[in-house]
Amino acid sequence: MIEPSLRLRRAIHANDALLVKRILKSHPDLLHNPDHSVTGNANSNLHLAASLGHLSICKLLVELGHEGRDGDGDSGLPALNDEHQTALMLAAAAGHTEVVHFLCEHDPPTILRQDVRGRDAIMEASLHGHDTVVQILLTWAPGGAQQALAQADLDGNTALHFASSNGNLLVLRTLLAAGADASRKNVWSWTAEAYSATVQAEVYLKGLVAEVERRKQMRREVEESKKGGTVRIVDRDGDVGD
């Protein structure tokens, strides 16, 4: 007879939401079911389902209270594995758009949580080049995209560093458009540009940074022209004066 905990994980791998529901009805104590095997990393049921992109099972687990609720009915602390990663981080790293959107909608503050290395979901998505996922995370990030992009890992690397290091060009454009600071240095005094994976990525990033600066300069000039404008007065006889 296979242990219920193992049967449950197999059902999640098979994307069989009905079987998962039946097993949990008989064994409600297995709602989290952390995997303590050598390679399991103490991932919970939601970690596993999110990493595989199985949306229906993610919804079922959250509905059953996997992420918990506090006394006010708000989201409690998310389940964490041995590396303090959330299910959202794993879904973001794997590029599972629908699961990421669902988890962001369920608990936006989870977007800003950082693991033992200081990485968050946006950094994971940037590292692996999942542009649509990055856009979703930035849209739901509490405090706005620019604040979220100011976060750095333990080495001082931002999401822009991770995108640049892997040559993820679309993500670079998205991050800069959202307000990422291209001049930000990590603890080794390296900017994202210095981490460019290829010459193409370096040239592309330089071009994007220059484009962003041009647009900022244009906005400043427009604002200054508005402030410095004079009022033209036309009197009854049609004479114009300042």
Q: Give the pLDDT score at 71.
A: 36
Q: Give the pLDDT score at 235.
A: 56
Predicted TM-score of the model (pTM)? 0.86
Q: Give the pLDDT score at 74.
A: 46
Q: Give the pLDDT score at 194.
A: 87
CA distance readout (Å), 87 to 110, 115, 178, 198: 9, 11, 24, 31
The length of the chain is 242
Give mean pLDDT in consecutive 10-residue pieces for the chain, a chain of 242 residues. 94 98 97 95 98 98 84 65 98 98 96 98 98 98 96 98 93 94 94 84 86 78 70 51 48
Four-residue CA torsion sign, 131, 205, 189, 175: negative
d(C-alpha 189, C-alpha 77), whole Å? 34
| Residues 87 and 49: beta-carbon distance below 8 Å | yes
Q: Give the pLDDT score at 5.
A: 97
Would you list the DSSP string of the chain? ---HHHHHHHHHHTT-HHHHHHHHHH-GGGSS----STTTTT--HHHHHHHHT-HHHHHHHHHTTTT-B-TTSSB-PPP--TT---HHHHHHHHT-HHHHHHHHHH-GGGGG---TTS--HHHHHHHTT-HHHHHHHHHH-TT-HHHHHT---TT---HHHHHHHTT-HHHHHHHHHTT--TT---TTS--TGGG-SSHHHHHHHHHHHHHHHHHHHHHHHHHHHHHH----EE-TTS-EE-
Angle 32-94-130 from CA coordinates, rounded to 5° = 140
Q: Give the pLDDT score at 139.
A: 98
